[in-house]
Structure 1
Amino acid sequence: MEIKLVPVRPEDKGTLINLYQLYEHDFSRFTNRDIDKNGRYEVNIDFYWEGDERWNPFYIEVSGTIAGFLVVLFENMDIDPDPTHVIYDFMILQKYRRTGIGRAAAIKAFKMYNADWAVTQMENNTPAISFWRNVIKSFKEDNFTERYRPERKKYIQELSTKT
């Protein structure tokens, strides 16, 4: 089983928007977001391709089939020559969950860039907190930090892949 991170091209934006519908559906139990009158979640990702190089969307492919997506954000790239890289969005389709694909994709993303990283989860999204703690611990052993930001109600894991 070959797992790849494939950059999403602007002409493939429609497919990514469709995947975001599934992401927002899954995530709505934590965000309480509702669909609009057309039965869809409002999603705008045009800015990913409007000259702002901070946004880096990837499909997660398994043997050539899309199994999910992730977005890497180069945080504060406009003011920091060495920006922190953030896993901004991450989604694995239900069929592929608990198979190791998400873990492998996350680690591939970390290895793609020689950078400091941050991964954030909402405090009520306990499955995501558990997933990221396990992935990062298996990847970096105890060489990472975690903090809780009560004002944002978020957990943040920070690690580095700098050599």
Structure 2
Amino acid sequence: MEINLVPVTFEDKEVLSNLYQFYNYDFSIFTDQDVNLHGEFEVNIDYFWEGDHRWNPYLIEVSGNLAGFVVVLFENLDTDPDPTHVIYDFMILQKYRRNGIGTAAAAKTLDLFKEAKWKLAQMENNKPAIAFWRKVLKDYTKDNYTECYLSDLQKYIQAFDRRGRTK
């Protein structure tokens, strides 16, 4: 099974926007978000292509089939030439879950920027995401990451730094 990350171009914006419908559907149990009168979740990803180079969306493909997406944000690129890399959004379609594809796609994402500071965040009530990212980071970093809880944001934050290291 071949897993690839494919950069999303402006021409593929509609594909990513469609996948965000599934993402928002899955996430709605944590955010309490409702669909609009057209039966859709409000999705606006135009800012990914409006000259802000901090946003890096990728489609996740498994053997040539769409399996999800990931968005990497260079968090403080506007003020720091060595920005913190953030996995901003990550979604694997349910068909591809629980068989290692999400873990492999997460590792491929982290491998895209080997010399980087990384940060990930999960909502406190999203227990599956917290467990997933803890397992991924424990394996990927050989348990060399930090985690804190921000009560004001009700989020868990994991961080690690790969600069100057080899895997």
Q: TM-score range by the shorter chain?
A: over 0.9
Identity value in percent: 62
AA at the equivalent of 1:78: D
AA at the equivalent of 2:158: Q
AA at the equivalent of 2:27: F
SS state at 2:15 partner: helix
SS state at 1:146 partner: strand
Deviation above 4 Å: which 4+ runs of structure 1? none
Equivalent residue number for residue 73 of structure 2: 73
Report deviation, 1:159: 1.2
Check conservation: 1:86, 1:117, Cα contact below 8 A: yes
Equivalent residue number for residue 58 of structure 2: 58
SS state at 1:119 partner: strand
Report deviation, 1:32: 0.1
Equivalent residue number for residue 49 of structure 2: 49
- For residues 119 and 161 of structure 1, the distance between their equivalents in structure 2, rounded to whole angstroms, comes to 14
TM-score by length of 2: 0.96
- For residues 25 and 162 of structure 2, the distance between their equivalents in structure 1, rounded to whole angstroms, comes to 32
Report deviation, 1:161: 2.1
- For residues 54 and 138 of structure 2, the distance between their equivalents in structure 1, rounded to whole angstroms, comes to 26
SS state at 2:41 partner: coil
Equivalent residue number for residue 121 of structure 2: 120
SS state at 1:82 partner: coil
Deviations 1:26-56 (A, max 9, x none): 0000000000000000000001011110000
- For residues 139 and 72 of structure 1, the distance between their equivalents in structure 2, rounded to whole angstroms, comes to 17
Equivalent residue number for residue 90 of structure 1: 90
Structure 2: runs of 5 or more not aligned: none
- The count of residues paired between Structure 1 and Structure 2 equals 163
Equivalent residue number for residue 100 of structure 1: 100
Deviations 1:141-163 (A, max 9, x none): 22100000000000001012222
SS state at 1:38 partner: coil
Equivalent residue number for residue 143 of structure 2: 142
Equivalent residue number for residue 162 of structure 2: 161
- For residues 78 and 38 of structure 2, the distance between their equivalents in structure 1, rounded to whole angstroms, comes to 37
SS state at 1:60 partner: strand
Check conservation: 1:111, 1:161, Cα contact below 8 A: no
SS state at 1:128 partner: helix
